Amino acid sequence: MTEFTQMGVADIRDGVAAGDFTAREVAESFNAQVAAAAELGAFIVTTPDKALDAADAVDAARARGEALGKMAGVPIGMKDLFATKGVQTTAASHILEGFIPPYESTVSANLWAAGAGMLGKLNMDQFAMGSSNETSHFGSVKSPWRKDGSNAALTPGGSSGGSSAAVAARLCPAATGTDTGGSIRQPAAITGITGIKPTYGRCSRWGVVAFASSLDQAGPMARSVKDCAIMLEAMAGFDPKDATSLDMEVPEWEAHLSADLSGKTIGIPREYRMDGTPQDILDSWERGKEWLKDAGAKIVDITLPHTKYALPAYYIIAPAEASSNLARYDGVRYGLRDLPEGAGLQDMYAATRAAGFGDEVKRRILIGTYVLSAGFYDAYYNQAQKIRTLVARDFEQAWSQCDLILAPTTPNSAFALDEMQGDPLAMYLNDVFAVPASLAGLPAMSVPGGLNSDGLPLGLQLIGKPFDEQGVLDAGLAIEQRSGFDAQPDKWWA
C-alpha cells in the first residue's frame, strides 16, 4: 500500500490525476494520521468530513473527465486565522471561541476551488502574536522534533506553529500560514520544512483575522519548494475585496522552476552577522553560500545598514495596528461577552476584553495604544514609520548589487516550551532576521539548511525583490537539491 502521508502536494495531485489512487484514499489516510496525533495539539478542530467531501468531489470530477484544479485531491491544514464558512474560526483566542463565520476567506475559497480539502483548523499563537505557539488559548503545540537524547517538549515556532508541526509530522502534506513578522518562516525553519511569504498584496487578506494589516501576508508551508510553488499559485490572485490586493496575473511559478542560478548574484548582508549568533547558524549560512555558488550564482557582500532598527520599529508598528484592529472585539457583534451584574456598556467592553484576550495580546494592545496616544505619536509611531522607510530603502539600494539575499531564518534552533515565558523581549528577538523583509513587503522563504549537533533543523532564508517569488523559489530549489535534507522526526506521539 502506498504510504500517502509521506507524499507531498505534487505527488498526490499527479497520482490522483493519473488514477494511481483516489483522492478519497488519500484523505482517509491523512484523517487517520490527524486523529492519532492529538498529543501534538496541532489542530484546534478537525474536519474529516470536509476532507472526504472534497476528495469525493475530485474523484467524481475525474470520473466525468473534467479538468482538475492545481491542488486536486490534496488535503491540507488551514491556519485558524482564515475564516471558514460553517467551521469555528478563533485565531486561537477565547474572545472568538465559538465564532462560526457565515463566509469563506478568499485564500481558503481559492484553495477549495483548486480541489484541495480541509483536514481541520490549525492551532497558532493567539491572534498570530507570538513566536513559540505558547500564547494559544487552546494550549501550546508541541514540535514533533526533539533534541537527540532528550524527551523535553520543544516549540514548533510561531505564530504558524500548528501548521509547521502538522506538516513536519506528516499530518498533512501542506498547510496555510500567515506571516506578519516571520510567522511562516520562523516555524518552517525550526521544524525542517519550507515556507514562503509572498510579496505584500499577492494573497488577499479578505477573511483573514487582522493583526497588523500593513504587514499581514498569507503563504504556503510544505515540505518542498515545488509544493510551495503549486500551493502559492492556488492561493494568490487579485481580489477587489482587499484594497491592498495586487492587480497582477499570478505567474506560473511551478512551470518555471529552475535551479540553474547562472547569471544571478546573491547578496550576503553583513549586518545579519550579529554578536552572539551561534556557530551552528553561521556554519549553515556558509553551507548555503557554497550551494548557491555551486548552482552558478555569484556571491557578494552587501550592507543593509538599518537592520538593527527593524525589530524595534516592528514592535511599534505591529502593536499600533493591532490595537486598532482588535478594537472590534467588544462583546457586541460576535464572540465573547462578559457582562458583570449591573454593568454599563463601557464596563462590558472592559470586562469582555479582559476575559477574552491572553496576556501577550493585552501587552501588544497596550503598547499600541501607548505609542498612538496623544503626545507620543510622533516620538514612537511616526519615527518607526520613518525607520520603516529606511529599512525598505536599504533593500532597494542592495538590489543594485544583487538579485537575491541569503541569510539565516532564525538566530537559534527550536527552544523548549516554557524556556522564554516571562521574558517577552527575548521571545521577540527570535524574529530579528525575518522582520526586515516584512517591513519592506518583500517575498521571503525559508528552506531547510540541515540539522545542528543536537539533531534539530535550521533554516536558510532567501529574500527577493518585490514580485520576484520566482527568483526566491528558484534559489530555494537550488539549496534543496544540494542540501539533501530528508531528516524526519521520530514518531513518538502515536
Partner 1 sequence: MSVDKQTVAKIASLARIHMDDAELERMAPELSQILDWVEQLGEVDTSDVEPMTAVIPNTLRLRADEVNADAKTAGDRREDVLANAPAAEHGFFGVPKVIE
Q: Which residues are catalytic, by number?
A: 79, 159, 183
Q: Closest Cα partner for 429 from 131, 58, 72?
A: 131
Question: Which of positions 433-452 make contact with partner 1 (CB under 8 A)?
Answer: 439-441
Out of 13, 50, 121, 388, the residue judged to bind partner 1 by CB under 8 A: 388
36 touches partner 1 (CB under 8 A):
no
> Does residue 383 belong to the site contacting partner 1 (CB under 8 A)?
yes
Give the burial class of 399: count Cβ atoms within 10 A of its Cβ; 0-12 exposed, 13-18 middle, 19 or more buried: middle
Is 416 a residue that touches partner 1 (CB under 8 A)? Answer: no
Q: Find the binding residues for partner 1 in span 168-227 (CB under 8 A).
A: 199-201, 214
Q: Which CB atom, from 153 or from 348, has the smaller least distance to partner 1?
A: 348
Q: Give the bridge partners for 444, in sequence order.
A: 197, 463
The only residue of 63, 332, 397, 481 in contact with partner 1, by rule CB under 8 A: 332
Q: Which stretch binds partner 1 (CB under 8 A): 21-29, 224-232, 258-266, 354-362?
A: 354-362
* Residue 49 contacts residue 213 (beta carbons within 8 Å): no
Assess contact for 22 and 16: CB atoms under 8 A: yes
- Determine if 94 is a binding residue for partner 1 (CB under 8 A): no
Question: Contact, 171 vs 33, CB < 8 A?
Answer: yes
Compute the distance between CA of residue 128 and CA of residue 158 in angstroms, rounded to an integer. 8
Q: Which is nearer to partner 1, 389 or 488 (CB)?
A: 389
User: Quick one: 139 or 240, whose CB is closer to partner 1?
Assistant: 240
- 8 Å CB contact between 336 and 301: no
- The H or E element containing residue 360 is helix 359-372
Measured from the CB of residue 118, what is the shortest distance to partner 1 in angstroms?
19
Instruction: Name which of 103 and 492 has its Cβ closer to partner 1.
Output: 103
The neighbour count for residue 187, using CB atoms within 10 Å, is 39
Which residue of 255, 346, 375, 484 would you call a contact of partner 1, by CB under 8 A? Answer: 346
Residue 25, CB-side half-sphere exposure with 13 Å CA sphere: 13
CB of 200: closest distance to partner 1 in angstroms? 5
Using alpha carbons, select from 160, 95, 97 the residue that is nearest to residue 123: 160
State which of positions 46-75 bind partner 1 (CB under 8 A): none
Looking at 92-100, 267-275, 290-298, 469-477, which segment touches partner 1 (CB under 8 A)? 92-100
Q: Which of 290, 366, 481, 492 binds partner 1 (CB under 8 A)?
A: 366
Any bridge partners for residue 461, and if so which?
Answer: 407, 446
* Segment lying near partner 1 (by CB under 8 A), choices 21-29, 142-150, 152-160, 422-430: 422-430
Q: How far is the CB of 28 from partner 1 (least distance, A)?
A: 32
What gap in Å lies between CA 365 and CA 332, rounded to an integer? Answer: 19
Q: How far is the CB of 100 from partner 1 (least distance, A)?
A: 7
> Considering the rule CB under 8 A, would residue 348 count as an interface residue with partner 1?
yes
Q: Does 137 bind partner 1 (CB under 8 A)?
A: no
Minimum distance from residue 91 beta carbon to partner 1 (Å): 14
DSSP per-residue letters across 16-56: HHHTSS-HHHHHHHHHHHHHTTGGG--EEEE-HHHHHHHHH
With beta carbons less than 8 A apart as the criterion, state whether 234 and 110 touch: yes
Rule CB under 8 A: is residue 330 a binding residue for partner 1? yes
Among 65, 149, 276, 344, binds partner 1 (CB under 8 A): 344
Binding residues for partner 1 restricted to 392-411, rule: CB under 8 A: 392
Near partner 1 by CB under 8 A: residue from 1, 18, 67, 102 = 102
Q: Choose between 170 and 388: whose C-beta lies nearer to partner 1.
A: 388
The binder of partner 1 chosen from 17, 61, 274, 351 (CB under 8 A): 351
Interface with partner 1 in residues 263-292 (CB under 8 A): none
300 three-class SS: strand
Among 68, 274, 299, 343, binds partner 1 (CB under 8 A): 343
Cis peptide before 284 (omega within 30 of 0): no
Q: How many residues bind partner 1, per CB under 8 A?
A: 72
Per rule CB under 8 A, is residue 113 in the interface with partner 1? Answer: no
Q: How far is the CB of 178 from partner 1 (least distance, A)?
A: 16
Orientation angle between helical segments 469-483 and 279-294, nearest 10 degrees = 100
CB of 112 to partner 1, least distance (A): 14
Separation CA 90–CA 29 (nearest Å) = 27
In terms of Cβ atoms closer than 10 Å to its own Cβ (0-12, 13-18, 19+), residue 282 is exposed
Q: Is 240 in the site for partner 1 (CB under 8 A)?
A: yes
- Out of 13, 185, 264, 353, the only residue in the binding site for partner 1 (CB under 8 A) is 353
- Contacting range for partner 1; rule: CB under 8 A; set: 252-260, 268-276, 308-316, 403-411: 308-316
Q: Is the dihedral of CA 225, 77, 32, 125 positive or negative?
A: positive
User: Are 27 and 54 contacting, i.e. CB atoms less than 8 angstroms apart?
Assistant: yes
> Quick one: how many helices (H) and strands (E) in the chain?
15, 11
